[in-house]
Structure 1
């Protein structure tokens, strides 16, 4: 049996969608399972024994109709029995159309349902989540295959090899990181401004983490975000700054994963870093943007290992009844009202659990 899973989006989305492969391989151990994603996301799939190969649809191919149609027929030649399209956009609609798969599975959309013979309706936003709707909705895509319940594994996983772990340990030693003290990763900046907790507030969060604690702090940021990262560092107190190892960064996504694997827990903005930390079974404290649906991405929330905060937890009247677009239009003013003092007790509880 040959299976293709398609998830063309961000790192967190790809990592979460990998649970489909994990469950499918449990049900069909002799199957060949391929995963299609963007090139910048493939590193979160490396080492996963449930994925036989990663297929990249290059940007150059996507922008050329002759190349794109050639790609469609290359997929068709692989003769997949099952195709699960988590993305459900035009290009993947067309990939599905040309695939020839017996099972063509995606989420129900009135304008694309003809491309699939198994259309799954997502949970309604107000429905309670078991693992977080980002997980729950993906598991729904497996319903039409009638998998054995004991084969379903809802937990995304990352796999770090021995060399990657040793390289991270060596990097820590070179920066004089002590293995006798707790190490916290700060998810410093979101993937976009509307998903980034204000710098002044983030500095207060970091100060609270460092206050009266013998702790070592790492920052997660991209090289092109270094100036904003420096600004947040300068907003922290001098005593906090002394606990921050600002220059300890991974050279790529795989090295970040290995670094995160050596950390004890993560705190900060919702995004790929949080999802990767959870996939490494690291405790997480997540600060959600007001425009992100917490019911979607507060995965495996249990009040101990994984805790999150959202403006709606404290001032729901500020966003009740507003559309996502309306919330994003006033995101700065909403963030201003999301003062870290609101969740100081919750953060203290988390730190006390994991220090």
Structure 2
């Protein structure tokens, strides 16, 4: 038996959808399990023992209709028995349509439902006290008679990667005897980024509440100016604890470095999901326009905390819609004074 799971685009989505493979392997121990992903997301699922093959969608394939058609013909030759479309867009529906699979599963959408043998309605509220991201993915397995079992994504690092990260941190004067924190100072976009002055104030609080804290910033080179602005807003004492130029040069290096940290703190995004998959405690600040239940559950394993504006003030669907249009207005309502006690409690429990 050959099974294909299709999940394009974002790193966090690709990582989260990898939970399907563990469940599929339990149900079909001898099946070939393949994963369609974008090339830039490979690092978070590399070495996953439940996945047999990766089928990559490259930037060239995405930009060229001819190359995409050739890609579809390649998929067709594989003669899959089952295809599960997690992404649920027109392009992935075409991938499903081109497979020879008799069983095709996806979330229900009117304009693509005819492609699939089984469609599943997304949950709006969790049924098993997990995050909606987890529950909705596992719901795609119901047509295969695979019942819900709470699962969490895992990232698999090689011993050499961990060893290299430890050597790099040591050479950067990071001391293993002192607490080390990875800070997601920036979100994936301004709409998902806590205001710079507020973030700096939280870092000041972190240093004040944690003896000998060592702080790393998670940013990519093109974000250096924005990250430096947050550094500049910090108190002089806080700046002494920040190792601004210590960061992973690749995603796998970032993962190995994060594995050495006591916690990851900051804006919601792929980095938080990756830290959880490395069994590192997380303290996550959600954008006001997002639904916290999509990516967080109080019952998830480990010591994880999530903060949302709705935790502190009355907040409805209208507010979420307005927050997407004007994120800064709503972010400014999520004052550091709300978050500091939560952060202090989180740190004390590490």
- TM-score range, shorter-chain basis? over 0.9
Query: Is there any run of 5+ residues in structure 1 with no aligned partner, and where?
Result: none
Match in the other structure for 2:250: 252
Match in the other structure for 1:121: 121
Match in the other structure for 1:144: 143
What is the CA-CA distance between 1:301 and the residue it aligns to?
A: 4.8
Match in the other structure for 1:291: 289
Whole-Å separation in 1 of the counterparts to 2:301 and 2:159: 32
Q: 1:97 to 1:324 in 2, by over 3 A?
A: farther
Match in the other structure for 1:96: 96
Match in the other structure for 1:275: 273
Matched, 1:198 2:199: no
Q: Which structure 2 residues correspond to residues 53-64 of structure 1 after superposition, within 5 A?
A: 53-64=53-64
Q: TM-score, normalised by structure 1?
A: 0.94
Kindly report the root-mean-square deviation, in angstroms, between the aligned alpha carbons of the 2 structures.
1.6
Whole-Å separation in 1 of the counterparts to 2:196 and 2:73: 49
SS at match of 1:262: coil
Match in the other structure for 2:106: 106
Match in the other structure for 2:233: 235
Q: What are the Cα deviations for residues 203-244 of structure 1, in whole angstroms up to 9, with x where unaligned?
A: 011111111422111110111001111111111111111111
Match in the other structure for 1:168: 165
Whole-Å separation in 1 of the counterparts to 2:278 and 2:126: 28
Match in the other structure for 2:71: 71
Q: What are the Cα deviations for residues 29-53 of structure 1, in whole angstroms up to 9, with x where unaligned?
A: 2111111111111110101001112
| Count of residue correspondences | 349
8 Å Cα contact 1:301-1:308 kept in structure 2: no
Q: Which structure 2 residues correspond to residues 307-346 of structure 1 after superposition, within 5 A?
A: 307-317=305-315, 320-322=316-318, 325-346=321-342
Match in the other structure for 2:207: 210
8 Å Cα contact 1:131-1:301 kept in structure 2: yes
Whole-Å separation in 2 of the counterparts to 1:325 and 1:148: 34
What is the CA-CA distance between 1:64 and the residue it aligns to?
A: 2.4
Match in the other structure for 1:154: 151
Q: 1:282 to 1:348 in 2, by over 3 A?
A: same
What is the CA-CA distance between 1:316 and the residue it aligns to?
A: 2.5
2:347 aligned to 324, 345, 351, which one? 351
Q: What are the Cα deviations for residues 84-115 of structure 1, in whole angstroms up to 9, with x where unaligned?
A: 10011111111111101121011011111111
SS at match of 2:19: helix
What is the CA-CA distance between 1:27 and the residue it aligns to?
A: 1.9
Whole-Å separation in 2 of the counterparts to 1:188 and 1:342: 18
SS at match of 2:146: coil
SS at match of 1:180: coil
Match in the other structure for 2:224: 226
1:179 aligned to 173, 176, 181, which one? 176
Q: 1:29 to 1:300 in 2, by over 3 A?
A: farther
Q: TM-score, normalised by structure 2?
A: 0.96
Match in the other structure for 2:43: 43
Q: 1:35 to 1:324 in 2, by over 3 A?
A: farther
What is the CA-CA distance between 1:296 and the residue it aligns to?
A: 0.3
SS at match of 2:256: helix
SS at match of 1:96: helix
What is the CA-CA distance between 1:274 and the residue it aligns to?
A: 0.3
Q: 1:66 to 1:18 in 2, by over 3 A?
A: same
What is the CA-CA distance between 1:304 and the residue it aligns to?
A: 7.0
Q: What are the Cα deviations for residues 140-190 of structure 1, in whole angstroms up to 9, with x where unaligned?
A: 0011111266xx451100001011001100001101111111111111100
8 Å Cα contact 1:304-1:350 kept in structure 2: no
